[in-house]
Structure 1
């Protein structure tokens, strides 16, 4: 309670974070670009998955999305007008190498060259994510992340990107939230490619973790001075009751959600002691893999939105734990039904800061979806603004306590395609009318802009 009271009393001014603190927004290729078949682009697993009946809310897809492929200059000018000078975006693997391997696509490469050049011309620093979930469909036909050959495919893809863009891109992120794309895509089947079961999940975990390090090594090989990181989804995990069963259940969920991919990179191996099922992953490991999993990242990206309350459950296989949904706990929630709990981001910064080998930390995603109402051409999204203020105060508290947090990126710049949820949740600082592609700056976007101008107290 003492810390929460301290956060409430904190003023919220840009200058309090220090002059070198990076402020930005984040996006992802499939969620905004559209033009899914334009200029030689090959299909990705999300192009295939969204075409399947019953997979996406109201059969939405990213075929057009925000039409960023055609409107990127307009959006970058808007970004500059809002005083946002750091832009995190991802490269679509199937746009630059349509078949995933082999012949590159010059027109796809040209698009990202133009995007990067325009960013730099407008004094916007590009922060590039190499993989944000849109695997080329041709590679999925060969097993995708379950096939160990993906390490070779990924290395070739990263090499191409670094050779084409590395002279201008100084900040790289290798993977976006590996637990989510292997968990939702290769265990639960609710995201592309829709595979299920431990036989898919375990090899996908290991191969993604290997690619996380291999991709970083390639970037450093070509550009030793580049800043190389990777990003992790994370949630603050707490037991439902102060009893041993719930405490142990929460510990298992924490190992799965927050430790599974960072600890191998730090040379600690997988958290097998807390997740016994990971022992079965030995069949996918080769001699020398533990060393190959390691990389000394320049930074890590922490992506936090909420906390989870965990209860022991005999009926849940492998982890014997279940999440108590936020709406059942009668706490404030977003349109995604995630609890609004600013202390979660403080706790996650504290957790990742506690690893001795972690260097700089950036909040590479944080934001909230709410139902936006347009009245007289305006969107007064007070709840989103208050969400951002609350979480930023928690970030500031962490920084004041000496935690090594160096920047903050809002998810997201514009409303976009939110995977299985389609276009229903709106996370953007800028509203998108998907019929007309008109952009409308929300009150939260104006607040963020003014905050970055140092005009907000």
Structure 2
């Protein structure tokens, strides 16, 4: 929509690209991706699943969205934000159609599935993968004035991380927009559990970013206490979700080691292992030692929410 990543297509006011249509093309791209997934699932199940015994799923970047107020319009805005950012991917692969919250906003702009396509899509995944890093506030833009989020492709929702000047959570060191809100993991899992009849889930990414602009000392990066506290608190939230009946079958830290992070390159470190990019030497951070002890039951303490 904003043209930040290849192929760099967008239109104003979303971005400044040489060509593209930000209000139309994202919908077309998603439709093609969903149909491609359905075809891949069909091939796998017919030709490989019985022999391999594998499962096939899809991973969604699933932020949690809290209404910025208790007003009904903001409560509905939070539901639309979840539909436009999470259910857009998953609803077709389980229910065979796009979310009704999206149909209501986009109308005929949202493609239709034929009966055959809808049947092909239904039950198109065995599990849901969840990449979760943070939680945002959602504000209605139908009945309220908004600077951003006032377009249909955005769900007529403004997304932010402050309410009355107060952030929703502590910022991560490397990516300030990622706020530490542990309860968000439990809530997004509960949302998926309820909407998709407790389809098996895996937390495929959950992590804490460290800034590395060249001024940090190696010892500072190795002593990553805040990453340890982050995972303790988010695992506590996950524990609550599982105790409440969520069928969550795995949890993966992002990442095993520092790496090249999209267009942020080597300026952000998510790893449990520090990597010297000149020599490629790997050094376990405090978080790696803690996570090893946690996995081997030598340190079973995780945060309470």
Which category of TM-score, normalised to the shorter sequence, fits these structures?
A: 0.7 to 0.9
2:159 corresponding residue in structure 1: 323
2:69 corresponding residue in structure 1: 241
Q: What's the CA shift for 1:252?
A: 1.6
Q: What's the CA shift for 1:361?
A: 1.1
Q: What's the CA shift for 1:263?
A: 0.8
2:9 corresponding residue in structure 1: 195
Cα distance in 2 for residues equivalent to 1:382 and 1:389: 11
Alignment of 1:174-253 (within 5 A): 187-196=1-10, 197-221=22-46, 222-224=48-50, 225-253=53-81
Secondary structure at the counterpart of residue 417 of structure 1: coil
Query: Are the equivalent residues in 1 in contact too, given 2:211–2:269 (CA < 8 A)?
Result: yes
Q: What's the CA shift for 1:421?
A: 2.1
2:18 corresponding residue in structure 1: none
Cα distance in 2 for residues equivalent to 1:212 and 1:361: 18
Query: Are the equivalent residues in 2 in contact too, given 1:431–1:441 (CA < 8 A)?
Result: yes
Query: Are the equivalent residues in 2 in contact too, given 1:297–1:359 (CA < 8 A)?
Result: no
2:175 corresponding residue in structure 1: 336
1:380 corresponding residue in structure 2: 223
Secondary structure at the counterpart of residue 410 of structure 1: coil
Structure 2 unaligned spans of 5+? 11-21, 301-305
Alignment of 1:154-165 (within 5 A): none
Q: What's the CA shift for 1:333?
A: 1.1
TM-score scaled to structure 1, two decimals?
Answer: 0.55
> How many residues of Structure 1 are paired with residues of Structure 2 in the alignment?
270
**Alpha-carbon deviations, 1:21-52, whole Å to 9, x = none?**
xxxxxxxxxxxxxxxxxxxxxxxxxxxxxxxx
Alignment of 1:163-178 (within 5 A): none
Higher relative contact order (CA 8 A, sep 6+): 1
1:255 corresponding residue in structure 2: 83
**Alpha-carbon deviations, 1:383-409, whole Å to 9, x = none?**
001000100111111112221111101
Alignment of 1:65-144 (within 5 A): none
**Alpha-carbon deviations, 1:420-456, whole Å to 9, x = none?**
2222221111112222222121111111111112111
Secondary structure at the counterpart of residue 406 of structure 1: strand
1:435 corresponding residue in structure 2: 278
Secondary structure at the counterpart of residue 180 of structure 2: coil
Cα distance in 1 for residues equivalent to 2:290 and 2:30: 39
Q: What's the CA shift for 1:374?
A: 3.9
Q: Does 1:277 pair with 2:116? A: no
Structure 1 unaligned spans of 5+? 1-186
2:235 corresponding residue in structure 1: 392
TM-score scaled to structure 2, two decimals?
Answer: 0.81
**Alpha-carbon deviations, 1:223-256, whole Å to 9, x = none?**
2221222111111111111113322222221110
Cα distance in 2 for residues equivalent to 1:376 and 1:261: 41
Judging changes above 3 Å, is the alpha-carbon distance between structure 1 residues 376 and 300 closer, same or farther for their aligned structure 2 residues? closer
Judging changes above 3 Å, is the alpha-carbon distance between structure 1 residues 378 and 287 closer, same or farther for their aligned structure 2 residues? closer
Q: What's the CA shift for 1:358?
A: 4.5
Query: Are the equivalent residues in 2 in contact too, given 1:272–1:278 (CA < 8 A)?
Result: no
Cα distance in 2 for residues equivalent to 1:445 and 1:204: 38
Cα distance in 2 for residues equivalent to 1:399 and 1:384: 22
Match of 1:290 among 79, 103, 118: 118
